[in-house]
Amino acid sequence: MIASVPKTSRMLRLSPEDNVLVAIDTVEKGTTAAEGIVALDRIGKGHKMAAADIRSGEAVRKFGQIIGFARQDVARGSWVHEHNTGVHDFARDYAFAEDARPEDILPLDRQASFQGIRRANGKVGTRNYIGVLTSVNCSATVAGFIAEEVKRSGMLDAYPNIDGIVALKMDNGCVIDYRGAIFDILKRTAWGYATNPNMGGVLMVGLGCEGFQIPRFKEAYGVTESEIFRTMTIQETGGTRKTVAAGVAAIREMLPHVNAVRRETCHASDLIVALQCGGSDGYSGITANPALGAAVDILVRHGGTGILSETPEIYGAEHLLTRRAANRAVGEKLVDIIKWWEDYTRRNNMEMNNNPSPGNKLGGLTTILEKSLGAAAKGGTTTLRDVYRYAEPVTAKGFVFMDTPGYDPVAATGQVAGGANLLCFTTGRGSAYGCKPVPSIKLATNTDIYTRMIDDMDINCGDILDGVTIEEKGRQIFELMLKVASGQRTKSEELGYGDNEYVPWHVGAMM
């Protein structure tokens, strides 16, 4: 991976082993591009041009790795994309723990700090929200009514230490087996949100007759009602109007207790950062993702935690992570998850390469292997310390992985349930996203999208193509992490995003 690119460069060779070049700017047909190659086709920004003749069936290489195989003979100078490149199975050497190295973690007195909210259990929040959780879709409307009435009444104005209230509505929870996968995931997700350090108080609202029973949920986690945790059901309370009134009253009683916090100096080791990418393009694996990876390396050195996820989007690059696994057991946990996904997609008449999305392809990404190699760069270069199932509590320090789908709201929901108190989100096409109660920092992969969507983007990583180094951009991202963790609002927070992005993963039979 190159550290910087001269402004005069028209195309990038990312590794000596590559047989494609990546266009920084559009290269018109007939133009003599980098390395004296004449473009036989128009090559769009972020797209690839063959740097050599590639025979049918031969591997196409980018980042020094296989991103696909030629479907036909591809002449030097041709546009390389899905019309002439595809994917099939090939052997990958997992080399478990071969590249694992101990990290040089800074002592506490040398770690970076931020102004966080320390909870009674020792966890540290970066925000202080009240959440209205639902146990079933049937209570989603009432939960929304409660949150809207609290906002409309202005009662939050008297409590400056509360960042807001959010209704976390789910679209499931009814006809499910309490012994099954759906119940287990919903249970972990709901409890993870209820105990996320950015949540100061929680009201859980159910209908009463659903499969995801609140009493069973409370029993599973040994939960009791308190000044900052309340539950109720619409049926027991007496219907919609009475439940809304009771919910608003419960939150009114909760407010002084939720407000009774103050920010104090905390160490960067208290940060658990969710790593996301969406609306990726051909620049994602060149600019924003490796820059975020550089920031994660800094975070890990300061004792913090970075959570990579989106299993379908590390597919084909998992061998790079297993090499960094702390030990063989950690690496095999990741491989077992990959095998589960292969079986899962096969049973549902799908294939792993149905990702990238149409927008990804327009941005220059051709195969899931190419997308995965770029997406995995968000995890930096340190040792993979552990692998978690969806919404499991993340307890390890350092770089970890969580199994989630590639769909951003579902993936981030699992990470937040796992304990993330901050989120960084890279995008090349321009994803519109927020994540209450966790602030989301948006990183643009290219200057065009940063300029066009300036109200949504927090950092421009496109200037890496103009000479800013990956390391310098990583430091900039890390510094912004600390500022946002201390209370500085992100662009998505200023816009009000985050009320509709709570999307638990549905796995298993819905009866």
Q: What is the pLDDT of residues 394-413, one digit of tens each?
A: 999 999 999 999 999 999 99
Angle at which helices 214-221 and 181-194 cross, to 10°: 70
Question: Locate tokens 């996820």: which residue?
Answer: 309
| pTM given for the model | 0.93
Q: What are phi and psi of 199, to 5 degrees?
A: -105, 115
Residue 9 confidence (pLDDT): 44
Residue 349 confidence (pLDDT): 86
Residue 88 confidence (pLDDT): 84
Residue 216 confidence (pLDDT): 86
**pLDDT single digits (tens) 442-459:** 999 999 999 999 999 999
Low-confidence ranges of the chain (pLDDT < 70): 1-9, 175, 177-178, 353-355, 508-511
Q: What is d(CA 489, CA 309) in angstroms, rounded to the nearest whole number?
A: 24
Q: Token pair for residue 130?
A: 């009240």
Q: Name the percent of the chain in helix, strand, coil, to the closest 5.
A: 35, 20, 45
Q: Is 107 exposed, middle or buried (0-12, 13-18, 19+ CB in 10 A)?
A: exposed
Q: Which of 58, 29, 8 is nearest to 20 (CA)?
A: 58
Residue 511 confidence (pLDDT): 62
